[in-house]
């Protein structure tokens, strides 16, 4: 490795010198070892090859010195040729070992990334909905990308670097001392001149890069929020585009200025250290030449020392910053383990049973529930706050009880925030009750398998969320085995077939992020088609028709009427006209069932339901929020 390359490597390694110094956690190291254990044979071979390559790096300068000695001594060409051939052979072997080592390194690193990513992804999928309502998606994705890759470097870069450099350093010093302890001492005395400026310059450049990273992060956040369909709409309606542009440009200019300063600092640093290394080589040649002229040192030894000198600074400077590299890797592991250590609140019991066959009843038995506080479901680093907001734990449902017999429709109505959607979320076990029980077919949902609950329940929410995939892929999410005929049947019943047929790509049309290439009503009808395709035995409609106009609502209501026939249904209603035929209507206020009965019974009672109904239909300009 040349001195210039060594300078750049040292500069890169010291860019994170400002990180907090803290002791290595033995528990973290044990967990890292557990992840590495399946790859232990590859790691062992990787380390052995690293040691062999480090040894070969020291042999080459000694052979170069022998060639010089052979030339000076006038030895036969056979001696020079054989030594040169040996150097060439070692170079070939070193190149071959380098390729093998790189193959091992790549396999080890990518295997570790696979293990970590799948572990985090699978774990995150088991987290409750409360986790996703609090966590910033970008911060979570960063754990799966940046931190996992940082952890991977612990094995592919840091481990081999530390082992290889340590072996190289010991062998190089041993050989150099054996050749000339005086020149070796001179080389070690010049080391501070090489390392200390690197630390100062590394600190300065690290500060500039952190500032640039902050500005880049701010620009990234601004772009992510403003370039989404809802964000762009908000800016056009209420924002100030000129102000947004000026704010973005100011940050971009600052990043540009920092880039120029960083580049100049790096160039000055590398130039200075390259000059220092050249002067060191001059001193070695000068002092070595002096000894050689006095017959105290062979000419080949001078050349060998000069070559070994370049191999001495690289491992010394790398090992000087090894702790930073190790800590950076450990911190990445710790950030990954932080996510893995979050306990999922919803767990499947050992020996959980399937939902009973046949028509299914739904029962809420004295259900009480409070949303979990942040410390139970989230991390401050994932919310990108200094301290978690630990408010929560206040009961929002107070003794809710009702039963929907097989085939019945139960409707939930009431003011916004009364607890209707919370009730709906407890049924598919997005949350667990604090006391009481939610039962499907007479069995507590906590005793049922998650797969059987998913197969039994179908839910359509108010936002009608779709993935940035094709219409076909969004529909098959409900039932991957569905045939083309079944897909078109569901679309027809959702009054959407004509629209899909008119699209150039038909079912292969990509709906865009969150389905924003479709209108609100079209998105909602597509989610209803997905429900129809799933053919669940229990249907939950959470404001399923709230986004539809009157014409679309009438069409979808007809489709839903067909889909709900013979099935148990829990419906949260925005428009009271849609639930007149419900077998049971529950009026929810402040987390309690304050009234129950049929449409006619509740109107006759003259209570809260009658008030909601009269408010909605006597003054069309006023509607009751969901």
Half-sphere exposure of 564 (CA within 13 A, CB side): 25
Please spell the DSSP secondary structure of 31-63, one letter per residue.
Answer: HHHHHHGGGHHHHHHHHHHHHHHHHHHHHHHHH
Going 227 to 228 to 229 to 232, the CA torsion angle's sign is negative
d(CA 297, CA 61): 16
Secondary element (H or E) of residue 402: strand 395-404
Q: Which residues lie closer than 8 Å to 183 by C-beta, 6 or more apart? A: 176, 284, 287, 288, 305
CB of 618 closer than 8 Å to CB of 611: no
Give the Cα separation of 212 and 357 in Å (integer): 60
Please name the residue that has the structure tokens 């840091």: 158
Interhelix angle 241-293/299-320, rounded to 10 degrees, is: 150
What is the four-CA torsion angle of 615, 618, 621, 624, rounded to 10 degrees?
20
Residue 143, token pair as written in the block: 């754990």
- DSSP β-ladder status, 443-444 and 435-440: antiparallel
- Class of 3-13+23-340 per CATH? mainly alpha
CB-CB contact of 235 with 226 (8 Å): yes
What Å distances lie between residue 211 and 19, 260, 448, CA to CA? 14, 13, 52
353: β partners:
448
Q: Judge whether 495 and 465 are in contact, CB under 8 Å.
A: no
What b/e string do you get for 509-535 counting C-beta neighbours within 10 Å, with b at 16 or more?
bebeebbbbbebbbbbbbbbbbbbbbb
Q: Is the dihedral of CA 589, 590, 593, 595 positive or negative?
A: negative
| 562-587 exposure pattern, b = at least 16 Cβ within 10 A, e = fewer | ebbeebbbbbbbbbbebbeebebbbb
Q: Let me know if 254 is exposed, middle or buried by CB neighbors in 10 A (0-12, 13-18, 19+).
A: middle
pLDDT score of 402: 93
Contact 409, 375 (CB under 8 A): no
Structure tokens, 35: 């992840």
Q: How many CA atoms lie within 13 A of 190 on its CB side?
A: 22
Mean pLDDT by 10 residues, the chain (626 residues): 52 48 66 81 85 83 82 77 86 88 81 83 83 76 75 71 80 85 78 63 69 72 72 70 81 85 77 72 82 84 82 71 69 81 84 89 93 75 64 82 91 88 90 92 92 87 80 88 89 84 87 75 82 87 68 67 78 79 90 91 88 72 41
Domain assignments of the chain as residue spans, ordered by start: 3-13+23-340, 394-618
Three state DSSP letters for 203-247: HHHHHHHHHHHHHHHHHHHHHHHHHCHHHHHHHHHHCCHHHHHHH
pTM for this one? 0.68
Give the SS3 label for residue 547. coil
CB 375 within 8 A of CB 359: no
> What pairing do the DSSP bridges indicate for beta strands 409-414 and 584-589?
parallel
- Is residue 206 within 8 A of residue 239, CB to CB? The reply is no
Contacts of 13 (CB under 8 A, 6+ apart): 202, 317, 318, 321, 324, 325
Who's near 132: CB < 8 A, 6+ residues apart? none
Helix 191-227 to helix 3-13 angle, to the nearest 10 degrees? 50
What's the rounded Cα separation, in Å, for the pair 389 and 148? 27
Angle (CA) 47 50 52, round 5°: 115
Other C-beta atoms lying within 10 Å of the C-beta of residue 302? 24
Residues 426 and 401: beta-carbon distance below 8 Å: no
**SS in 3 state form for 354-395?**
CCCCCCCCEEEEEEEEECCCHHHHCCHHHHCCCCCCCCCCCE
Measured CA distances, 352 to 67, 122, 432, 444 (Å)? 77, 20, 15, 10
Q: Return d(Cα 605, Cα 351) in angstroms, integer.
A: 47
Fold equal for 3-13+23-340 and 394-618: no
Q: What is the CA radius of gyration of the chain?
A: 35
Taking a C-beta distance cutoff of 8 angstroms, is the pair 281, 309 a contact?
yes
Domain spanning 394-618: which superfamily? P-loop containing nucleotide triphosphate hydrolases (3.40.50.300)
């Amino acid at each position: 490795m040349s001195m210039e390359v060594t300078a750049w490597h040292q500069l890169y390694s010291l860019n994170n010198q400002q990180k907090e110094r803290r002791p290595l956690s033995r528990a973290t190291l044990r967990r890292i070892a557990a992840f590495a254990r399946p790859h232990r044979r590859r790691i062992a071979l990787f380390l052995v090859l690293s040691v062999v390559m480090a040894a070969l790096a020291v042999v080459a300068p000694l052979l170069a010195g022998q060639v010089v000695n052979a030339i000076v001594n006038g030895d036969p060409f056979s001696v020079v040729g054989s030594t040169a051939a040996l150097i060439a052979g070692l170079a070939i072997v070193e190149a071959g070992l380098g390729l093998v080592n790189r193959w091992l390194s790549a396999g080890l690193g990518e295997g570790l990334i696979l293990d970590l990513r799948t572990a985090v992804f699978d774990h995150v999928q088991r987290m409750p909905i409360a986790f996703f309502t609090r966590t910033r998606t970008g911060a979570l994705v960063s754990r799966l990308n940046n931190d996992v890759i940082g952890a991977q470097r612990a094995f592919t870069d840091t481990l081999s670097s530390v082992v290889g450099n340590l072996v190289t350093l010991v062998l190089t010093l041993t050989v150099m001392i054996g050749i000339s302890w005086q020149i070796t001492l001179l080389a070690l005395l010049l080391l501070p001149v090489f390392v200390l400026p690197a630390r100062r310059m590394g600190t300065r450049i690290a500060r500039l890069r952190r500032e640039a990273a902050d500005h880049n992060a701010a620009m990234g956040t601004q772009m992510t929020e403003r370039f989404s369909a809802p964000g762009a709409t908000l800016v056009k309606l209420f924002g100030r585009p000129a102000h947004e542009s000026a704010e973005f440009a100011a940050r971009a200019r600052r990043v540009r200025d920092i880039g120029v300063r960083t580049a100049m600092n790096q160039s000055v640093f590398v130039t200075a250290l390259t000059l220092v290394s050249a002067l060191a080589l001059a001193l070695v040649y000068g002092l070595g030449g002096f000894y050689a002229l006095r017959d105290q040192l062979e000419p080949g030894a001078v050349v060998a020392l000069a070559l070994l000198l370049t191999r001495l600074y690289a491992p010394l400077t790398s090992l000087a910053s090894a702790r930073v590299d190790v800590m950076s890797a450990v911190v990445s592991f710790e950030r990954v383990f932080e996510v893995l250590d979050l306990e999922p609140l919803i767990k499947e019991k050992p020996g959980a049973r399937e939902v009973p066959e046949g028509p299914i009843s739904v029962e809420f038995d004295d259900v009480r529930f409070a949303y979990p506080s942040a410390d139970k479901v989230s991390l401050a680093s994932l919310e990108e706050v200094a301290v978690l907001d630990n408010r929560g734990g206040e009961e929002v449902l107070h003794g809710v009880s009702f039963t929907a017999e097989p085939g019945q429709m139960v409707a939930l109505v009431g003011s916004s925030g009364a607890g209707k959607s919370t009730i709906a979320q407890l049924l598919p076990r997005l949350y667990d009750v604090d006391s009481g029980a939610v039962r499907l077919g007479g069995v507590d949902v906590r005793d049922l398998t998650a797969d059987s609950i998913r197969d039994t329940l179908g839910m359509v929410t108010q936002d009608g969320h779709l993935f940035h995939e094709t219409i076909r892929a969004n529909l098959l999410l409900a039932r991957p085995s569905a045939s083309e005929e079944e897909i078109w049947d569901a679309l027809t019943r959702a009054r959407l077939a004509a629209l899909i047929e008119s699209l150039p790509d038909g079912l292969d049309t990509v709906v865009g992020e969150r389905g924003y290439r479709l209108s609100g009503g079209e998105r909602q009808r597509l989610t209803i088609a997905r429900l129809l395709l799933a053919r669940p035995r229990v249907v939950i409609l959470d404001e399923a028709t709230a986004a539809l106009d009157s014409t679309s609502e009438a069409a979808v209501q007809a489709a839903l009427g067909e889909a709900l026939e013979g099935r148990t249904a829990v419906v949260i209603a925005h428009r009271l006209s849609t639930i007149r035929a419900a077998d049971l209507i529950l009026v929810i206020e402040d987390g309690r069932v304050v009234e129950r009965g049929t449409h006619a019974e509740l109107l006759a009672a003259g209570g809260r339901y009658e008030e909601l109904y009269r408010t909605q239909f006597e003054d069309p300009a006023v509607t009751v929020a969901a």
